[in-house]
Amino acid sequence: MAQLDFGLLWYDDDRKCALTGKVERAAQRYQAKFGRWPNLCYVPQESLGQEMEWQGVRIVGALNVLPNHFWVGVACGGGPEPDAAPRADERAGVGKS
């Protein structure tokens, strides 16, 4: 299991939002607060069938993460430098064919 250099614990109990939408909100807050896009997010194990990657964020189920919580950050030794964080349109895939 990868470890975070630094992380942000995000709570999101919006039942109308998909898991990836919640991860996006947590990642956006992380970027706004710390100036870089995260590359790792731990979610409750029961929320995720198998590990996946979404918009450059590896999403991993963990038994020690409570329901509706998202532990987002940069894995040890990984991720882009703060000035190299992807723009919103790049993360959303705008302009890609």
DSSP track, 37-80: ---EEEEEGGG-SS-EEETTEEEEEETTS-TTEEEEEEETT-S-
Question: What's the pLDDT score for residue 94?
Answer: 45
Question: What's the pLDDT score for residue 90?
Answer: 53
Domain ranges of the chain: 4-78
Question: What's the pLDDT score for residue 4?
Answer: 81
Question: What's the pLDDT score for residue 84?
Answer: 42
Task: Enter the tokens of residue 23.
Answer: 């991860």
For the chain, list residues with pLDDT below 70: 1, 77-97
Question: What's the pLDDT score for residue 49?
Answer: 85
Provide the greatest CA pair distance for the chain: 39
